[in-house]
Copies of this chain bind each other. A is one copy, B any other.
Amino acid sequence: MAAHEMTYRVPYADTDQMGVVYYANYLTYFERSRTEMLRDAGLPYSELEKRGYFLPVTEAVCRYRAPAAYDQLLTFRSYFKEARGVRVTIVSEVWHKDKLLVEGYVTLACIGHDKKPVRAPDFLLEACRVYR
């Protein structure tokens, strides 16, 4: 019952002229975070693709509480929230020290090689449940 955690250093590339991380970049942070979550749960995303599954995003929600700044060492947290049929929802958070900056979630749809929706396979759900 614990979220996955990783750290990330904010490069100049991620900032905008307001002097903070540009809002779209948090979705990239969420991707890094849930990818590492799956890897550390034993299922690298590339392995998932090799087995013929893809996980396009169907919904993304981001709530911005406070801005992240250049050079900060952020902590990304992710955990599995739920699976419903073809859909899997993963929550992600961005922290700086003990302050929650951004939180949100991404819902992914499981599709097969033929690009058709398919029920999330057990080996994916098992990996997801490692961090919940």
Q: A residues within 8 Å of B by Cβ?
A: 9, 11-13, 15-20, 22-25, 27-28, 31-32, 35-36, 44-46, 54, 56-64, 67, 70-71
Q: Is the CB of B17 within 8 A of A44?
A: no
Beyond the given pairs A23-B27, A59-B61, A60-B60, 11 more chain A to chain B contacts, judged by CB atoms under 8 angstroms and listed by A's residue number, are A11-B28, A12-B35, A13-B22, A13-B24, A13-B28, A15-B16, A23-B60, A24-B31, A27-B27, A57-B64, A58-B64
> Which residue of B15, B22, B44, B54 contacts A71 across the interface (Cβ within 8 Å)?
B44
Interface of A is mostly: mixed
Q: Is the CB of A31 within 8 A of B11?
A: yes
CB contact under 8 A between A17 and B24, given known A46-B70, A60-B61: no
Q: Which residues of B contact A17 (CB under 8 A)?
A: 12, 15-20, 70
CB contact under 8 A between A46 and B71, given known A12-B22, A58-B63, A62-B60: yes
> Shortest distance in angstroms between A125's beta carbon and chain B's nearest beta carbon?
21
A67's nearest neighbour on chain B, judged by CB, is B56
Q: Is the CB of A62 within 8 A of B64?
A: no
